Structures are given as C-alpha cells and as structure tokens.
Amino acid sequence: MVVFAIGIWSSGETVNPGWLRFFSAAVLVATIVLGVWDRWLWRLTFIQRIPTVPRDVRGTWKGTLSSFWEDPSTSRRPDPKNVFLVIHQSAFQLTVVLITDESTSRSSLASLSDDGTQASLAYMYLNRPDSRVEHRSRMHNGSAFLEITGRPATRIRGRYWTDRDSRGEMDFNQRNSRLIDDFREATTMFPAE
C-alpha cells in the first residue's frame, strides 16, 4: 500500500502506471527469497549460528520412552521401549510424529522456542494405537515438552503426559536426516545396539 501511495503521490496529477512494473518484480523476488529461506537457506550451518534462526531438529530421531505408569496387578512399570521421533520442519512450520511398535502420535500443535540459554520443543498430539492393541491401549491426547541440546541438535529429551493420567520420559540421541513413515522402516535405518 505504501508503494502505491508513494507512486501516485510522486507522479503528480497525471497517474502513469509504468512504475508498477517494478512493484510486481519486487513481489516476485520477495516470494522467491522467502521460499528459498523457508525450504533450504535457514538450515545451513553458518545460518544456524544466528540466535534468532529456528534450531534445525528435522529428521528421524531414535530413542527410548520410559512410562511411569504402573500395572495395578503387578505394581511394575513397563520396560523402556525403542521409539522414533520424526520431525518435519521448515523455517515456518513444524510437525512432530512419534512412532512406536504399537502406535503413532501426530502433533496437532508444535513449536520450537529458544531463550538464548535453552532450546525446547513443545507439542500436543493425538495418539492412535494399532488395532491389534486397542483393547488395552485406547486412543488419547497428550503433550510433550522436550529440551534440545546442541547447535546443531545432538540430543532431545524431556517429559510427556496424557489424558489417560499417564506420564513418562523420552530421550533421543541418534539422528538421521531421512524422514520415515513407519516403525519397520525406522528400525532398518538405525543399526541394532
């Protein structure tokens, strides 16, 4: 709007629309630069050192999930299980998917924050269990708050809690830049320990 106002004002009484061709070229260049930034430029190593640039955490992370839930019949907690955190990220968008051998959780809201001393990933999710385990693990909502270590990120760890009154911890320290779709594919990506 300001460009239009200045263009009309500077043209005097006779409006000559020739100056508008520069406006359309500027819009095109700005759109291309913004697209390149969003898809690629923000994640370059030297750009990642700029404090206001979102920390690059995209990729597939392997880790463990430790539940604090106790089985009422045995008073025992489940053993920690291998899980995979798949983070789809651009400069302006973020989606988090947690994949286990029994279910998939997909974020409905996700955000990265960095106060200069600590970076974190917070998200809300909907968990959908596989049909073979629905009798003991129903669909549920939850949230997670994970702290990010390193720039570039080398570890993600933190807590989760659900509307089933369960909670626990997650710790991810192996990363691959490929994005996976299911548990079987993820297990082939990381060597067995």
For residue 179, pLDDT beyond 90: yes
Per-residue pLDDT band at 134 (split at 50, 70, 90): confident
Give the span between the Cα atoms of 74 and 121, in whole angstroms: 34
pLDDT at 65: 97
Tens of pLDDT, residue by residue over 10-50, are 655 555 666 666 777 788 888 888 888 878 888 888 888 88
pLDDT at 20: 64
Topology of domain 59-189, CATH: Lipocalin (2.40.128)
* Number of CB atoms found within 10 A of residue 75's CB: 7
pLDDT in tens, 44-75: 888 888 878 888 999 999 999 999 988 888 98
Residue 16: its pLDDT value, please? 61
pLDDT at 145 over 60: yes
Question: Strand, coil or helix: what is 43?
Answer: helix
Greatest distance between any 2 Cα atoms in the chain:
88
Spatial contact of 19 and 4, defined as CB atoms under 8 Å apart:
no
Average pLDDT over every residue of 146-157? 92
H or E stretch at 22: helix 20-39
**What is the identity of the amino acid at 83?**
V
| pLDDT for res 1 | 54
Coil, helix or strand at residue 133: helix
pTM, two decimals, is 0.81
Q: What's the pLDDT at 15?
A: 58
153 residue type, one letter: A
Name the E strands within 1-73. Answer: 59-67
Q: Is 118 helix (H, G, I), strand (E, B) or coil?
A: coil
pLDDT of the residue at 7: 59
Q: How confident is the model at residue 127 (pLDDT cuts 50, 70, 90)?
A: very high
**Both tokens assigned to 165:** 């009154």
pLDDT digits (tens, 9 = 90+) for 93-125: 999 999 999 999 999 999 999 887 789 999 999
Instruction: Say which residue, 87 or 18, is predicted with more confidence.
Output: 87
Domain residue spans of the chain:
2-39, 59-189
